[in-house]
Every structure is written in structure tokens, then in C-alpha cells.
A and B are shown apart, each in its own frame.
Chain A
């Protein structure tokens, strides 16, 4: 994210809270992620006028309404692509996507690889509850086949995807995972993602007490295991090995971090190479079409 937006203000976490009341169900994991986000913004001193929070459609995608900042509530699956435009066009802004597992990996699945490989300078927080909540409980790309959902009354016919392996494979330069039941870890990893110069992906398990009856808060608590001490986050192979869930445990913490030029930095190099500037004499361009 853009450092220009950092250390600009002294605001407490609650100061980032908007006046719009939350619409999530009681017990929803997304509250933990929201609180983690407030905390991360406060610790970084992010100027809310320079923070743009973009979302698609789904329970997760209501997040921007609850954050005091600039924001866009877009279409199902398209938040990442919209945010790419914002982040590339305005490198002085801090851009963050809040999205869900269906939004990001099902309908929006075509965009995820490209934000990662282009290394768009933004943070993508994926609030993974293994279910489509807002349409009342259909299975999602991260649902376990054991789950009987609205459209899978006899259980699921598909294997769930592995978001971490996916993002590592496509070249995301910051990949972390957290659990909504641990808001401090969420805050720490979101903060790291926002500070990262490049595409930062944070997968956060978030229980849906209303529709996902098997991925309970206790299930996630038992599932996650902190990234082992001494894990080298610059080692892509080691990160992939962890993402494969050795021993059935899901890693919690920073898996991978790399420094690469962002898309905008590469575009700026092109502008620099051609000596580009806003006052360029367009007559020179026109002259190239003389017969």
C-alpha cells in the first residue's frame, strides 16, 4: 500500500468506525475482521481520506459501509478489478478490497491471478466463511464436501479450493492467513499487508453461525496452527509446503513476502523511458500521421 497515506493522523480504532450500523448476524466472524481492520488502520495512522475500501457483493462486501473512508461497493466478483484501476490510477492512495470466498474465487476467480501476477499495490482481505451467506447458505468454492448446504442437501460434490496455494502460485508478494477469532493476529497481518508494497493477500477464516453449521468457531480454532517459528517467509517453496496444510492444520501467520516492482512502478518506468509528462506537445504525436 501507499506509504503516503500512513502516519498522517492519530486516530483510535473506534474513530475509523462509520455511522452506518453493521448488518451482520450476531456471532459473525466478520466483526473480528472489521475490528482488526480498525486496529490496523489506527496503528498505521492511515488518513481515512486517503484510504479507499472497495468491495463486491456478499456479506463480507458490506464492510466498506462500516469504515470511515472513501469507498466503493461494486459488483459481484469485480471488486479486485475495480481496485486495480484505483490503485494504478492513484498511487498516492491506500487501496483495500474486502471480499468473500464466493465473490473472490467463484465469480471473481478470473481476476485473482492477475492482481497477483501484476503485483497491483493493494491489500485484498478475503473473509473466508465457506458459504454464500447473503443468498442464504449455498456452498462456496471453499466449502468442505461434508457440508450440507441449501444447494447441496446430500453433501457437496466438489473438493474445496486452497486459496493460499492459489495466491502463492500466481505470484502474490504477501500471503498471510488469520482467523477472525483472533482479532489481534488479524490486525497484525492486515497491518503488514497494508504496509507491503505490492499485492498483499490475507485469507481470514470467519465463522458463519447462521448458515455454515460445520465450520464453527471451534472448528476453526482447532484447525489453525501458527506458522512455525523460524519459517522463512522469503522461501516460496516453504510457504507452499505450509499452504498444503501438512498434518491437516491450516497455517496462521505470514507465509510469504517478496519485494518486486508493482504494476504502477513498472508503468512509471515506461513513462519515464519515453519522457512522458502532462504537458507533452500532442502536435508531435499528430505529426507522425503526416503522409
Chain B
């Protein structure tokens, strides 16, 4: 069977142009009309350290970064050492030789392509062009569309001056020439150029920022934290164009505090952080709940606890997102599956925060944060934008008025006749302190009940497969692991295995009936997630009658489809 996709992994020392090489190849493939899904890891250090960029390109839709690579390009010895166990018979191996800092042993069956990257770059007195040599070689070896690649390079380097462009193109040509001299022994090739599609290529973090702009955000405040910081970078670049403001706060506590202050003042407001920041914000999340002040917190999860794995992928903030904080403090918790969701669900989350006057925690993760994907170009006009319910000016204004749907009208400061206090104290309908048992219970009911309808109103949880069909295994998962499950399930179905998927995007309030209806058609329920405890499994056990089988990994990397396929087969 002809392989439809190709996975190229490039690795080396941070600063050697690993990331830009990956970006160039990804952009060239996307320009050539292919689907692209990239994945990268980089060290927590500023300079040096191991950096890896993986590009998966296909003529068909991609949902994840792939199982492993087909082609590995090593820029240095460390990259080789860290990946040599993955050089299996059939993989292609492009490496810096002669003249590099290592002499690899080529395992039996591996297609080896030594390319003197360092030496060539030195010959050009342009050491930084090492990656251009590698790219030229790979374009020849693996059919990466040369025309688009050169266009991408030209776009990138033109601003740096003619001489820089000329030298880089020369290095690229030399790389091509060296590869052409090699005898091609593998069959890998990137799919031929397709009819160009109307797509964009964007990372998860940038997509959150774009969602914020599309969602008509007014105010953003955040404190830098990996892997969430690019959200602030994107927003700081583009929000001012739309008249919005961004403040870099002194810490995460201040950032959510500022968000609440701006939101009280009538502005659509959000922050973005990662686990340690969310932990610091938990008291203010309660304040948002109690004072019914809309707020969006995007949590780009990383490995914890404590400083944990600051640059690594994990999905382990679910407990914190749903239950973090003191008292009974309901909030809406949602999670994104892919880059497109990062746009769409940021808009949804802003809308829900406004409509329900509640904090919303939107969970992304370290894998999605830097992963770039090709997605259809979004049309801003196609999104619905929701604003908070405003007081109609009739009768006495009561900020915390009990209503049929538990949502009270709001009045922005400046509105005559509606002066009120927004408060973190338990209160009466007017906002006056009231610690009585009747008020506390009634308000708890109000705060929980107002978001409860979301289980039916927010888009229903997707079932991957025929909802009515019986399955041997049902896979329930969340976040970017969904993309892995999609491919694993599709591949298993091709083998005739009866397996289905269930992909919740709304994690709290929990759509219990949808979970149970799905599970009723499955003999076993497998819940893969990237955390140690099986956090979603825990909520499933606690909230539903389902007995899930947790499948957890927590090594700082996402699942691959093959892992999920093997685990599922064990259950059959």
C-alpha cells in the first residue's frame, strides 16, 4: 500500500536552525496544497540543548503528529544518540557527514544519506547555513516541492538583504547537488503538489490569540509562563489593531485580578497561563464565581507538580481546573482538541463567560501549544459573538437578582440608577453581605444551576463511529489526545476491530447522560490521557455509572496512534 503521509524529524542543537528548517518545510508543503501537522520539543534552556521538529505532511487530513518518523535528519551527535534507537529497518537517515561531530553506526536496513552539512557551510564561510544544506538535500531526496520551498526561503530572507539570501540559496543548491549524487534507496516521498487550498498554518497558541481577536476581546492581561506565552505575544501584536489593550501583569494573581476589574467595568477580558499560574489564580476564580464576573482563563497545560516539566506536554490540570480553589466554586471547564478548536473554542469560551457570567477555564496543552497545523482559513464573520445580559433600566436594579434561568442582568459602571457592589462575600440579591444559611444555599443553587444547561446547549459530545452500533471498546479521551484516538480508531476499523470514540469538549458541567449513552453500547471503556492519575477516568467514575479502564502516560510526550491501537487490542 502506498504511504499517504510522510513524517520527517529534524533534530540538533538549539540555535542550529532546527525550528526554522521545520517551519520552512511545513510552509512549503502547505503551499503545495498538502495537509501539515508539526510537532516540536525544545529545551528549557535559552541557548543550546536538544531541539526537535517533526513535520508530518499528507494529501489527506491529519489529526496528530504520527507514530514515529520515516525520515530522520540529525544535525549533531546528541540528536543521533537520542534518536538512534528509533532508526529501524526501513527508516531513512540523513546526517552530517563527513565533517560533523559524530560518526554513526548505520543499523541494518536503514537508508543512510551522509550529507556534509557543516563542511559545506564552512566552505561558504556561512556556518549558519548548515540547515540550508540539509534542506536542499531533503528536498531532492524526499520530493519536497522545490519551487514552493525556494519561494518560502526567498520570502524569509529577502528582508535580511540580498547577500544573505544569495548565500542561503547557494547552500540550498549545494545540498541538492550532494543529495543528487547519492543513490536513493528508500521509497519515501512527500506527496506531489495538490491544488492549493484556502488554508492558514498556525500554532495552537497563536490560534488561541486569533480566537480572542475574532471573539472581540477588549482586555488581556497575563504573566509570561511556558508554554502559554505565545498567546500573549500574538495578542500583543494584533489586539491593539482592533483597539483592545494588553497589560503584562506582575504575576498570575494580578493578571486574573485585572481581568476581573476590566470585566466588571464591562469589557470582554481574558488571560492565558499554564498550570502553576492557574494554581495561583484559584482564589480569584472563586471570586469570579461568587461575584458572577465573566472571565476566561486559558490554561496551556505542562508537566507538574511544582515547576515540573516546564516545556513538556501533559494533560494533568483537570482536577485543578474543575475543583481547584476553596468552597463550592463552579466554573465552566472546556478543552480543545486541535488548532482549529483553539480558535473556535476561544470564541465559544468568551461567549460562555459573558452569557453565564462565570469563569471559564479553557484547557489547551503543551503539545498543541507549538504544534502548527494547516486549517481552513477562518471567516471572522461566521462566528457568533455573545455579550452579557444588560439591565433594561426598568424598576430597581439588583445585581444578583434571582431569575428563572439564574442569570441576573448586569450594569456597567457609568449606567445611571444601577450602582451596586460586586462582591466576593456571600450576599443578598442587592449585593449586601448576607451570611445566612438561606442566602448561601440559594446562591449556591443559583451559581451551579445557571451553568448546568450547558450540558445540553453546548455542542454535543462527538461520537466517532455509528452511535447505534455495538463496540468491543469505546475510547473516551480529551484534549489533543483526541486527535490520536481519531487516527487509531480509523486504522483499527480498517482492520475490522469494533471500536468507537467519544470526545467531550465540555468537561464541566459534565454531560453525564451522553457519557452513559455512549458507554451503554461499548463492552469496555478505555480512557487514554497524558497524566499519572487518570484524571478524566476519576471524574467518569465519580459522576457516571461507567467503570473506565484508565490508560495513562506521563513522560512529557503525547500518545502516538500505535500506542493506542496496541492498548486497545489488549482489551479485545
Q: Which residues of A are at the interface with B, using a C-beta cutoff of 8 A?
A: 20, 48-50, 52, 54, 64-65, 68-75, 78, 81-90, 92-93, 110-111, 113-114, 118, 263-264, 267, 270-271, 273-278, 280, 282-286, 289-291
Contact = CB atoms under 8 A, between A and B. Distances in A.
Given A72-B421, A75-B284, A286-B210, A89 B254 contact: no
B285 to A, nearest CB: 11
Given A111-B250, A267-B245, A85 B221 contact: yes
Interface string B399-437: 000000000000001111111111111000000110000
A271 B419 contact: no
A264 B245 CA distance: 9
Contact of B210 (A74, A87, A89, A285): A285
A270 B245 CA distance: 9
B421 A73 contact: yes
Given A82-B258, A291-B27, A89 B419 contact: no
Contact of B243 (A50, A111, A276): A276
Contact of A276 (B30, B240, B247, B424): B240
B238 A271 contact: no
The 5 closest A-B pairs by CB, nearest first: A85-B261, A85-B258, A291-B30, A81-B257, A89-B262
Given A72-B261, A84-B261, A90-B266, A277 B242 contact: yes
A93 B265 contact: yes
Contacts of B267: 89-90
B413 A70 contact: yes
Given A85-B262, A276-B242, A74 B432 contact: no
A65 B284 contact: no
Contacts of A111: 250, 254, 257
B5 interface: no
B529 interface: no
Interface in B242-291: 242-247, 249-251, 253-254, 257-267, 269, 283-284, 287, 291
Nearest to A90: B265
Contacts of B238: 285
Contacts of A284: 241
Contacts of B420: 70-71
B79 to A, nearest CB: 26
B70 interface: no
23 contacts: A49-B413, A65-B432, A71-B419, A71-B422, A78-B257, A78-B284, A81-B249, A81-B254, A88-B245, A89-B219, A93-B414, A113-B250, A114-B249, A267-B240, A270-B240, A274-B241, A280-B241, A285-B238, A286-B200, A291-B26, A291-B28, A291-B31, A291-B200
A60 to B, nearest CB: 15
A48 B419 contact: yes
A84 B256 CA distance: 11
A233 B21 CA distance: 58
A28 to B, nearest CB: 18
Contacts of A274: 240-241
Given A85-B259, A110-B251, 17 more contacts: A52-B264, A52-B413, A73-B425, A75-B283, A75-B287, A78-B287, A81-B249, A81-B250, A82-B257, A84-B254, A86-B413, A88-B247, A93-B265, A277-B242, A285-B213, A291-B26, A291-B199
Contacts of A286: 200, 210, 377-378, 380
A65 to B, nearest CB: 6
A71 B243 contact: no
Contact of B419 (A49, A85, A289): A49
Contact of A278 (B242, B258, B432): B242
Contact of A282 (B213, B419, B425, B433): B213
Contacts of B118: none
Contacts of A275: 241
A266 B218 CA distance: 16
Contacts of B291: 72, 74
A49 B425 contact: no
Contact of B250 (A70, A110, A278, A282): A110
A93 B413 contact: yes
A110 B257 CA distance: 13
A85 B241 contact: no
A274 B250 CA distance: 25
A65 B421 contact: yes
A85 B260 contact: yes
Contacts of B263: 85
B19 to A, nearest CB: 16
A282 B243 contact: no
B214 interface: yes
A264 B200 CA distance: 33
A267 B221 CA distance: 13
A49 B423 CA distance: 17
A89 B413 contact: no
B378 A277 contact: no
A73 B422 contact: yes
A74 B425 CA distance: 8
B415 A74 contact: no
Interface in B62-100: none
Given A52-B265, A85-B257, A263 B284 contact: no
Nearest to A77: B253
B314 interface: no
Contact of B414 (A50, A82, A84, A285): A50
Nearest to A269: B240
For B26, B413, B414, B423, which residue has the most chain A Cβ atoms within 10 angstroms? B413
Nearest to A93: B413
Contacts of B251: 110
A84 B265 CA distance: 11
B260 A282 contact: no
A74 B269 contact: no
**Which of A72, A113, A270, A290 has the most chain B CB within a 10 Å cutoff?**
A72
B38 to A, nearest CB: 12
B240 A282 contact: no
Contacts of A271: 240, 243, 245
Given A64-B421, A78-B257, A110-B250, A49 B243 contact: no
B243 A280 contact: yes
B351 interface: no
Pick the most buried of B213, B245, B418: most chain A CB atoms within 10 A of its CB. B245
Contacts of A278: 242-243
Contact of A82 (B242, B243, B247, B261): B261
A85 B269 contact: yes
